[in-house]
Amino acid sequence: MQNTVSKDARAQTVQDNINTLISTNSCPSCNLTGADLSNANLSGVVLNNANLSGAKLNSANLTNANLNGVILSSTNFSGATWCDGGCTCGDNSFDMCIGCASIDICIPLTLPQKFKGMAYDPKPSNVEQNPGKMYFDDDFYNQDFCQLWGNKTSVGCSQKPDKFRDDLMTMKNIGVNFIRMYDWNEQRDKETFSPIGHQGFLEYAADLGIKVSVPFCNLCMGQAKAEAIIDEINKYSAKAKSAIGLFIVGNELGGFEKFIPETLNAIKGAAGSLSTVPICTPIKTNGSGKDAVVANALIDTANKYDVYKSNSMENRFIACVNFYGIGLPGSTMKPSQQLEEFVDGMLAQGTLLTDNSIPLLLSELGVFLVGGPVPMNNGSCSPANIQPNAGGDQSTQAMWLDEVLAKSNDLMGSKSMYRGSTVFQFMNKNFSKVCAIDRDLGIYSLEQPSMPWHGKARDNNGIFPTDPLYPIDKLNETPRFMPVMNNY
């Protein structure tokens, strides 16, 4: 019979609990946050209800381990053996020994330890020829648009013409391990609409080892809409589910804050392994200077955390911030230093994040354009007065981005609760008629080929009548490409 640890022993420090675990092979309800148990032989270990947030269990032997009810947030199970190593993956693999040889396949809740993300919104260049009417919605992560993100072998794409841009493989080759998505229409998953729906996108991401976020956009929140999304996700294959690493509830919310509780309640309906996927609600920074920006971000994060806690979801909460600096020009403080000041402030001793072991993700990261592009009479955007936060043109901005990403890598190495960032963004909106401030922040710009190269959405029996032939635009590297390539 195995020894068990007493309540008094469980109340000790994490290191005390590690020592107890190693000596007794048992530590139920222990606090093991951030514990490094890499390569440990934990065969038959009893860890039910333990807190493993941020723990490293990569390549650990967890054969016949009891992990019932454990708290997992950014836990690294890479390469760990699970069950007897000969089981098949199933939705109920969490809590039950019917999982895979690799636990991170069966419990797809772990975010990358070093988060190298990309904001991805693959709108075709003609999307604004008839704004709001050209396409049925802004969801391009589904079967009908696989010629943008996939290839001939992607699920649901085999009947397409041999014209594929294969954005997911492009991101994989850059070093991206996480993709942030922005729009998700569950109607695309209905059998009568699109039998494959988003499953092909998710399965291809899983094949490439890329985690993705499922967004509950500001207009997709609330009980009914969120439940509809979860109902369809529950039907996905085990492989598709394994790609889901994060649920994102809203983005820079204003009047939509009231819908967070309803959306969280709907997410509780996610079945099996999806029942422990981390969740976040990205905020934006406000103010000028470290003290003001950090204070405002901590207040906003605390408000979100309280909502999650009141809905018994605090153990899945991740602090997500869309970060473009602390409101200072680069001539005053380099953007890389602004990043360091912000992360240091958010993770200082005694803050909400450090006191509650809450990981910090920069859900968007960039060097912003102060003022933004200036509209011209012909509807195009002028380069006049476009001044990046650091000052200068696109090349100067790229130089600053290179330093920002290098600093982010350094911080990931020195601060365990800082998980990294999501570069904003994969491609420019250079065909947009709206001269928005984020128009030219992509690592690629779009170019319409001289000979139109089109993808074709299915006719859906008239259900999505506004989905036309869509251009498969050429991607051209911008000056921002090499900073990402160099640091990812």
> pLDDT tens digits for 266-278?
999 887 768 888 9
Q: What pLDDT is recorded for position 112?
A: 66
Cβ-Cβ contacts under 8 Å for 16 (sequence gap 6 or more): 9
Percent of the chain with pLDDT over 70: 74
pLDDT 10s digits, 106-129:
443 445 668 899 999 999 888 876
Per the CB < 8 A criterion, the answer to whether 148 and 111 are in contact is no
Extended beta strands in 143-271, E state: 178-180, 211-216, 244-249
Query: What is the SS3 assignment for 171-184?
Result: HHHHCCCEEECCCC
The whole-angstrom separation of Cα 99 and Cα 86 is 9
**Cα angle: 27, vertex 32, 34; to 5 degrees:** 155
Q: Please name which of 453, 419, 425, 430 lies closest in space to residue 441, comparing C-alpha atoms.
A: 425
The whole-angstrom separation of Cα 374 and Cα 439 is 11
Instruction: Please state, rounded to an integer, the average pLDDT across all residues of the chain.
Output: 80
Is 50 exceeded by the pLDDT of residue 393? yes
Percent of the chain with pLDDT over 90: 42
Per the CB < 8 A criterion, the answer to whether 40 and 20 are in contact is no
Note the pTM of the prediction, 2 decimals: 0.76
If you ran DSSP here, which 8-state letter would residue 193 be given?
Answer: T
Per-domain residue ranges for the chain? 1-107, 115-487
What is the arithmetic mean of pLDDT over 161-165? 78
Between 376 and 312, whose confidence is greater? 312
Please tell me the least confidently modeled range out of 59-68, 106-115, 456-465, 472-481. Answer: 456-465
CATH of 1-107, one of 3.90.1690, 1.10.3210, 1.25.40, 2.160.20: 2.160.20
The per-residue b/e assignment along 277-299, b for 16 or more CB within 10 angstroms, e otherwise, is bbbbbbbbbeeeebeebbeebbe
Cβ-Cβ contacts under 8 Å for 200 (sequence gap 6 or more): 142, 143, 146, 150, 154, 155, 156, 157
Helix or strand run (H / E) with residue 412? helix 394-414
Q: 3-class SS at 201?
A: helix
Is 60 exceeded by the pLDDT of residue 388? no
What is the arithmetic mean of pLDDT over 245-253? 93
Q: 3-class SS at 260?
A: helix
If you ran DSSP here, which 8-state letter would residue 70 be given?
Answer: -
The whole-angstrom separation of Cα 127 and Cα 461 is 22
Q: Is the dihedral of CA 79, 84, 89, 91 positive or negative?
A: negative
Q: What pLDDT is recorded for position 452?
A: 58
Most confident of 193-207, 336-350, 392-406: 336-350
Q: What pLDDT is recorded for position 192?
A: 47
The whole-angstrom separation of Cα 96 and Cα 241 is 17
The whole-angstrom separation of Cα 4 and Cα 242 is 33
Q: C-alpha distances in angstroms, 294 versus 39, 143, 281, 300?
A: 37, 41, 17, 10
**Cα angle: 22, vertex 24, 26; to 5 degrees:** 90
User: Which CATH fold topology does 115-487 show?
Assistant: TIM Barrel (3.20.20)
Q: What pLDDT is recorded for position 464?
A: 53
pLDDT 10s digits, 6-20:
334 435 799 999 999
The whole-angstrom separation of Cα 216 and Cα 251 is 9
If you ran DSSP here, which 8-state letter would residue 76 be given?
Answer: B
Is 50 exceeded by the pLDDT of residue 371? no
Please tell me the least confidently modeled range out of 33-42, 123-132, 228-237. Answer: 123-132
Say what angle helices 335-346 and 394-414 make with each other, to 10 degrees. Answer: 30
Helix or strand run (H / E) with residue 81? strand 81-82
pLDDT 10s digits, 397-447:
889 999 999 999 999 999 989 999 999 999 987 676 666 666 778 999 998
Helix or strand run (H / E) with residue 409? helix 394-414
